[in-house]
C-alpha cells in the first residue's frame, strides 16, 4: 500500500512540474539586444513554421534593428516589430506605430495549444486571424485568453529581466508608448554577432 501511495505521489508531482525547455539550435535562436541587455528567444518552427521563417527573413534583412516597442502594457505584454513605422528615428509617431507590417505578405494563422505564459512570444494581428506579418509581443505574465487565438512563435530562454525594464506605455491609451525603447539589434545566433 505504501509503495502504491508513493508511486501515486510521484506521478502527481511529475504532472505538476513540466520539464525545462530545451535550448533551441542556433538556427532557431533569435537574440534581441535591448538597452538593459540581451534577450535570447527560442523560435518554434515546430509550432509555426511559416511565421518563424518570416521572422528569420526579416531579422536577416536587418528589418528589426532600431524598431520601437510601440505598445507596452504593464502586467500583460510588450509589442514591437512594426518595421514600416517603428524604425524611423525622425518619422516615428505613436499614432503611426503599430499600423504597419513589412513588405512581405501576411501569414495564415498557425494557432496551437501552446499556452501564453510569461516569456511566450506571440504574433500580433488585426481582427482577421490571417493578418499577422512582422509584429510580435513578449508576455510579461500568463494570459489564457490568448491561447489558441494568436500564433506562438517562441519562448524567452534568457533575458526576461531586460524585457521587464522596457518602458511602459500609457494605460489610458491602450499601452501606446511615447519616446519608446527599441530593439537595438536583432540577430539569429547561427549568423554570429
Higher pLDDT, 162 or 11: 162
Count Cβ neighbours within 10 Å for each residue of 130-166 and write b for 16 or more, e otherwise: eebbbbbbbbbeebeebbeebbbbbbbbebbebbeeb
> What's the whole-model pTM score?
0.84
CA distance 102 to 47: 22
Higher pLDDT, 19 or 152: 152
Strand-pair partners of 73: 77
Cell numbers 528615428 label which residue? 89
CA distance 126 to 148: 15
User: pLDDT tens digit string along 24-64?
Assistant: 799 999 999 999 999 999 999 999 999 999 999 999 999 99
Q: Which domains does the chain have, with CATH numbers?
A: 24-191 (2.40.100.10)
Predicted local distance difference test score (pLDDT) of residue 93: 47
User: pLDDT tens digit string along 125-179?
Assistant: 999 999 999 999 999 999 999 999 999 999 999 999 999 999 999 999 999 999 9
Give the pLDDT band (50/70/90) at residue 100. Answer: low
Nearest to 149 by CA among 106, 98, 112, 101: 112
Amino acid at each position: 500500500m505504501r509503495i502504491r501511495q508513493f508511486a501515486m505521489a510521484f506521478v502527481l508531482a511529475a504532472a505538476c512540474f513540466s520539464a525545462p525547455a530545451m535550448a533551441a539550435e542556433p538556427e532557431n535562436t533569435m537574440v534581441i539586444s535591448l538597452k538593459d541587455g540581451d534577450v535570447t528567444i527560442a523560435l518554434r518552427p515546430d509550432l509555426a513554421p511559416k511565421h518563424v521563417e518570416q521572422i528569420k527573413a526579416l531579422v536577416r534583412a536587418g528589418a528589426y534593428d532600431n524598431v520601437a516597442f510601440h505598445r507596452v502594457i504593464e502586467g500583460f505584454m510588450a509589442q514591437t516589430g512594426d518595421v514600416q513605422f517603428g524604425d524611423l528615428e525622425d518619422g516615428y509617431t505613436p499614432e503611426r506605430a503599430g499600423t504597419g507590417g513589412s513588405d512581405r505578405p501576411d501569414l495564415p494563422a498557425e494557432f496551437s495549444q501552446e499556452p501564453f505564459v510569461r516569456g511566450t512570444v506571440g504574433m500580433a494581428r488585426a481582427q482577421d486571424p490571417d493578418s499577422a506579418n512582422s509584429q510580435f509581443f513578449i508576455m510579461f505574465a500568463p494570459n489564457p485568453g490568448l491561447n489558441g487565438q494568436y500564433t506562438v512563435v517562441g519562448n524567452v530562454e534568457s533575458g526576461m529581466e531586460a524585457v521587464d525594464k522596457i518602458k511602459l506605455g500609457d494605460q489610458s491609451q491602450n499601452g501606446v508608448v511615447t519616446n519608446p525603447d527599441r530593439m537595438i539589434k536583432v540577430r539569429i545566433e547561427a549568423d554570429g554577432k
